[in-house]
Amino acid sequence: MSSVLHVSGLSAVPMAKTILVAREIDLALDRSPHCELRKLHVTCEDGVARLTGFVSSYFTKLIAAEAIQVVTPPGWRVYNHVIVRQRSQDPHGHPHGNERSN
């Protein structure tokens, strides 16, 4: 698995379910034909799955959301915090070139 996942929770039973969900989400992203999805970060905690990272288009952001919705159990919330990079930005969202911010 090449995407990064993080799991936390309050009790042992929900934790086991959370770990299974996190693994399913990670596998779904890892198996995607869209290679950018494999670099996204997954955080699962107490019935919430958060997706973070950077992609190059809104289409890819939507594909990421669809990929994890399919494997997320009913009742779980999915938050897509993926950031779409502009072409003139580096992977951290900073502009390239000699631009200055005042």
Domain residue ranges of the chain, discontinuous segments joined by +: 4-84
- CA neighbor of 25 nearest in space, from 68, 80, 79: 68
Could you tell me what percent of the chain has a pLDDT over 70? Answer: 72
Q: Is 100 a residue whose pLDDT tops 50?
A: no
Q: Mean pLDDT for the chain?
A: 81
Q: What is the mean pLDDT of residues 44-60?
A: 93
Q: What is the mean pLDDT of residues 12-21?
A: 77
Sign of torsion, CA 84 86 91 93? negative
The pLDDT tens digits for 57-82 are 999 999 999 999 999 999 999 999 99
